[in-house]
Amino acid sequence: MKDAVKKKFMELYGGAEPDVFFAPGRVNLIGEHTDYNGGHVFPCALTIGTYAAARRNEDGVLRFYSMNFEKLGVIEVDAAALVYDKKDNWSNYPKGVIDVLRKHGYAVEGGMDFVYSGNIPNSSGLSSSASIEVLTAFIVKTLYGLELNFIEISKLCQEAENKFIGVNCGIMDQFAIAMGRKNHAIFLDTATLEYEYAPIDLGDCKIVIACSNKKRGLGDSKYNERRSECESALASLQTVLNIRALGELTEEEFEANRAVIADPVKERRAKHAVYENRRTVRAVEALKAGDLKLFGELMNASHVSLRDDYEVTGIELDTLVETSWEQEGVIGSRMTGAGFGGCTVSIVKEDKIDAFIRNVGETYKNKIGYAADFYVVEIGNGPVVL
């Protein structure tokens, strides 16, 4: 992949050889839709991700090219006038990052040429957009010698997605990608950004991701709606409780006060946020204690809550997960990411993976009408210069 992006860069732009960079995708093992509710998440970076070749130029133009969207060709933008433009398609993500860096006073003057290529499935829920954002920030930091650490990068990339792209996401995706560590997941308190690395020892099991191939875009999905419903439920609870976020509540505190939320739909949304947060804390404790069985049970319970209380799964993800639960050697399975399509994550015994992929794939295709894709993934590091 490194050689391919460099070769394409030289074909398009010529001149001096570019530097080549990589940033991973991420999968969240448990803790879904908790990050914007002040709760805990437990993601890890993957060894699949986004590659880019990049170089500064002197003509004041930003040029973006993606080997994943070759039909769009080179997208050229005046470096001095960065605004969101629908016709610029995927390049709004790197544009947004550069815009936010400037607004925070970083001296990012002049133009740059980029070629990107990713091996994360697009719209899969493995954070191809956050991978591009973090990668772009890392490239700019490197090319301009900016004093910028990875936590700052994750905050700025979240801001770019919130303010430039218009998706009201939490910080999990950008943080997991920027701070990734091989063979570790990140136990992150999104309210405080306190975090710890937890070693992932799955013994004779592996992480298997199933991509539903149902395309979805967060901005035009119900993601922002779910966030708004939680904020409304929180406002109701704040009339009787001194809290800043749903993630501060235990299940018992929620049950004692849930009646104050007049709307039953918002009550269910809040229930998911509270219970999922506590599930995530317990899941990490289980993993530390070597109790993979309990970890899997909590993954399964997470999916049920996302299906019934948060209503973000849909027939594609439910088919993948519910079929996975029936397979031999499956420790746990759940949807991962924002939902409305995207991916599932399962922990499967290594000697059962082939049968798992065959059986789940066959059932899914028969029921949904098109195929799912499966990836046996490894946990990798954060951004690097290659």
Residue 338: its pLDDT value, please? 85
Domain 2-199: which CATH number of 3.30.420.40, 3.30.70.2740, 3.30.230.10, 3.30.360.10: 3.30.230.10
Residue 122: its pLDDT value, please? 66
Q: What is the pTM of this model?
A: 0.91
Q: How far apart are CA 30 and CA 218, in angstroms?
A: 19
- Please report, for the chain, how many H helices and E strands are present, in that order: 11, 13
Residue with tokens 């066959």: 362
To the nearest 10°, the Cα dihedral for 215, 217, 218, 220? -120
- Where are the chain's structural domains? 2-199
Q: How far apart are CA 280 and CA 258, in angstroms?
A: 21
Q: Is the pLDDT of residue 166 over 60?
A: yes
What are 31-51's pLDDT values in tens digits?
A: 999 999 999 999 999 999 999
What are 271-284's pLDDT values in tens digits?
A: 999 999 999 999 99
Q: How would you write 119-151 as a 3-class SS string? A: CCCCCCCCCHHHHHHHHHHHHHHHHHCCCCCHH
What are 48-89's pLDDT values in tens digits?
A: 999 999 999 989 999 999 999 999 999 999 998 899 999 999
What is the spatial order of strands in the sheet that 205-211 belongs to? 330-336, 343-349, 205-211, 373-377
What are 258-315's pLDDT values in tens digits?
A: 999 999 999 999 999 999 999 999 999 999 999 999 999 999 999 999 999 999 999 9
Q: How far apart are CA 69 and CA 85, in angstroms?
A: 17
Q: Please confirm, yes or no, whether 173 is among the known catalytic residues.
A: yes
Residue 123: its pLDDT value, please? 64
Q: Is the pLDDT of residue 142 over 80?
A: yes
DSSP annotation string for 76-133: EEETT-----GGGGGGHHHHHHHHHHHHTT----SEEEEEEEE-SPTTSSS-HHHHHH
Task: Collapse the DSSP code of 13 into the 3-class scheme (helix H, G, I; strand E, B; otherwise coil) and give the result.
Answer: helix
β partners of residue 343 = 211, 336
Catalytic residue among 173, 263, 309, 373: 173
What is the β-pairing status of strands 111-118 and 61-66? parallel
